[in-house]
A and B are shown apart, each in its own frame.
Chain A
């Protein structure tokens, strides 16, 4: 991660794992771990990455190969995976946004003072992991702020922000509670976030409801 400025870099560096209040189940691989990937994970990741880079044509195969409940994952398509890529872009945008921008000249002197007052009100957030996490999450879920038109929350039960530039997404269909695939992805900033995925793990499929 490249922090936007020294202030944020210092703040991020001071955060511990506890700050992030990671609530993932103990049975699941910790999203921040850097264990060597198993053969299956490496193979699946390769298929996934190729599929994404090839316009998503192979991603369905990747899903199907690990779980036959793909049909329960209605609404999920190649587009959903494309959104994961955009998460890195969202984080990159957030890094940019967290860096105080000068007020446009067109807003005038009073406008500059007004904007400074808003920035002052925001400043405490830069030091808060919880606030950063909320911002990243909101942007991944927000059509206007860089996320998808159809919200990830409509499909997935848990999306955790591991750090300002890394997300972990549990691909459990929230409607059916069917785990199609448990996939923890750590994203880093654009342009090629998937090249730097830290961890990939398959989750045991659960029975249909």
Chain B
């Protein structure tokens, strides 16, 4: 098997993206190795999509607005904004989003970020707890930006966030190292509540390269094993949330939360496909479900095996196309639903993420 390191892509502007060689990456793909994503390239189409996203959801001072949730912002949106602007080579927007994120959400003590900002409240950040998906996206974007733009403050901030993730957001259960959804509130004493969509698998190789610690490999390995078990209902789909006891036993439903495959869990197959984990059960099962139910709605109740009423968003359809293609149930799409078609921020963000995943798979 061909082995290769993460640090192989070179920075390029969008206009010359197709001209520069991708050392190592192509060789790895050709040899059948796992996909190791890079954030260092962008097609003209992606840049165009980013410009639409930016105009619709990013304020002049760098706040990414969740238009589907009353105009709040959160660390997830800021992290995605950083990833998208980095991929598009838009450093001005990257800096504006980063400045706002640092100013409003970041804790210098922990390197983590408050998960929610509501401009209608005073103060806008009423809960300093973090959300791990946001912190992973921010850490990944900062570390990659530091490498591509040769800017050490990005790197140092990214390393601090990555360090905070390992310090505060990991927990041992039985023999496994688990990723907590946040620093507080997910340990009941008897067990833990987990969110499988917070396992951002394409980010782990980069984080491991930047902040070497076997904990990253354990998080990935244990996470993959756990997600293969944590599938529920008639269609064996991943749930938005599930519970696990302190001994790391079989996953169960999460107390106080509905057992659903919906807005959170839809990212599980996306991240698996993005990382090239095409035969993972948590990708194959949703892909099989979507193949059989191409018009599936936005949510599935896994407790009673019933489909929800709300139609899937364009971003969800983008993930469906990438997932069914990755799992081999359909051809990989040439194009995905545009950000222009998205009803709101989250649908647009899913569409952008799917486009990044598709680009990493096809290059």
- Chain A residues contacting B4 (CB-CB under 8 Å) are 117, 120
Docked-complex contact B170 and A142, CB < 8 angstroms: yes
A116 to B32, CA, bound (A): 13
CB pair A121–B5 under 8 Å, yes or no, is yes
A104 to chain B, nearest CB (A): 5
Enumerate chain A residues within 8 angstroms of B211, measured Cβ to Cβ: 134
- Point out the residues of chain A lying under 8 angstroms from B1, CB to CB: 113, 116
In chain B, residues 162-198, which have Cβ atoms closer than 8 Å to a Cβ of chain A?
Answer: 163, 166-172, 177, 180
A142 close to B225 (CB less than 8 A): no
Most buried by A among B201, B214, B279: B214
Chain B, 332-355, CB within 8 A of any chain A CB: none
| A89, chain B: closest CB distance, angstroms | 12
B212 x A142 contact (CB < 8 A):
no
Q: Which of B4, B169, B213 has the most CB of A within 10 A?
A: B213
Task: Point out the residue from B28, B166, B217, B228 that lies within 8 Å of A118, measured CB to CB.
Answer: B217
Considering only CB atoms and an 8 Å cut-off, how many residues of chain A contact the other chain? 37
> Interface-forming stretch among A24-32, A122-130, A196-204?
A122-130
Known: A98-B214, A144-B166, A145-B167. A111 touches B224 (CB 8 A): yes
Q: How far is the CA of A98 from the CA of B204 in the complex (A)?
A: 17
Q: A104-B224, A117-B34 are in contact. Are A110 and B214 (CB under 8 A)?
A: no
* Interface residues contributed by chain B, number (CB under 8 Å): 46
Is the Cβ of B279 less than 8 Å from the Cβ of A106?
Answer: no
Among A99-114, those with CB < 8 Å from B are 101, 103-104, 106-111, 113-114
**Chain A residue nearest to B169 in the complex (CB):** A144
Set of chain B residues within 8 Å of A151, measured between Cβ atoms: 167
Any A CB within 8 A of the CB of B144? no
Known: A104-B221, A109-B279, A121-B6. A114 touches B228 (CB 8 A): no
- The distance from the CB of B191 to the nearest CB of chain A, in whole angstroms, is 15
B279 touches A108 (CB 8 A): yes
Report if A106-B212 is in contact (Cβ < 8 Å); known contacts: A142-B166, A144-B167: no
In chain A, residues 150-187, which have Cβ atoms closer than 8 Å to a Cβ of chain B? 151
Chain A residue numbers with a CB within 8 Å of B167 are 138, 141-145, 147, 151
Task: Report yes or no: B216 in contact with A113, Cβ–Cβ below 8 A.
Answer: no
Complex CA gap A104/B221 in Å reads 7
B3: CB under 8 A from chain A? yes
Contact, CB under 8 Å: A122 / B220: no
User: Which applies to chain A's interface (DSSP): helix, strand, loop or mixed?
Assistant: helix
State whether A108 touches B280 (Cβ < 8 A).
yes
Tell me the bound Cα distance from A128 to B213 in angstroms: 12
> Across the interface, do B224 and A118 meet the contact criterion of CB distance under 8 Å?
no
A113 contacts B33, CB within 8 Å?
A: yes
Residue B307 interfacial (CB < 8 Å): no
- Give complex CA distance A146, B280 in Å: 29
Interface centre among B1, B3, B216 (most CB of A within 10 A): B3
Flag if A135 contacts B213 (CB, 8 Å).
Answer: yes
Question: Is B209 positioned at the interface, with any CB of A under 8 Å from its CB?
Answer: yes
0 or 1 for each of B123-158: is its CB under 8 Å from A? (1 = yes): 000000000000000000000000000000000000
User: Are the C-beta atoms of B224 and A113 separated by less than 8 Å?
Assistant: no
* Top 8 A-B pairs, shortest CB-CB distance: A125-B212, A144-B170, A114-B34, A97-B214, A113-B34, A121-B209, A142-B167, A107-B224
- Residues of A near any B CB (own CB < 8 A): 94, 97-98, 101, 103-104, 106-111, 113-122, 124-125, 128, 131, 134-135, 138, 141-147, 151
The contact sample of 7 A-B pairs, CB cut-off 8 A, is: A107-B228, A118-B205, A120-B3, A125-B212, A128-B212, A143-B167, A151-B167
| 16 more A-B residue pairs beyond the given contacts A110-B276, A113-B1, A114-B275, with a C-beta to C-beta distance below 8 A | A94-B214, A107-B225, A108-B279, A111-B224, A114-B35, A120-B4, A121-B205, A122-B208, A134-B213, A142-B167, A143-B168, A143-B171, A144-B167, A145-B172, A145-B215, A151-B167
